[in-house]
A = this chain, B = another copy of it.
Amino acid sequence: MAWEEKDNCLYCCFTFKNFNEAFGFMTRIALAAEKQDHHPTWHNTYNKVEIWLNTHDKGNIITEADRKLAASIDKIAGI
């Protein structure tokens, strides 16, 4: 998946078959985020999940913590 740098965030949009698949994906990301103590900003409508990653504590810039979570998300997505 191609994460873009956009407004000081890593941004990616994922599209699934339905809500069931989209929310299963979100739950797996939630588990990874909580483990890494680093959380996404995300938006969902039905089968579409948009994700923005940046690091609030460092002044809302992209850091290593964001790249690590993006890599976990790609792995969950099977990319």
- A residues near B (Cβ < 8 Å) are 19-21, 23-28, 30-35, 37, 39-46, 76
Contacts and interface: CB of A to CB of B under 8 A. Distances in A.
B41 A31 contact: no
B46 A20 contact: no
Contact of A19 (B24, B39, B46): B39
28 contacts: A19-B30, A19-B31, A19-B34, A20-B31, A20-B32, A20-B34, A20-B76, A21-B28, A23-B27, A23-B28, A23-B31, A24-B24, A24-B25, A24-B28, A24-B31, A27-B27, A30-B31, A31-B31, A31-B34, A32-B34, A35-B37, A39-B45, A39-B46, A40-B45, A41-B45, A42-B44, A42-B45, A43-B43
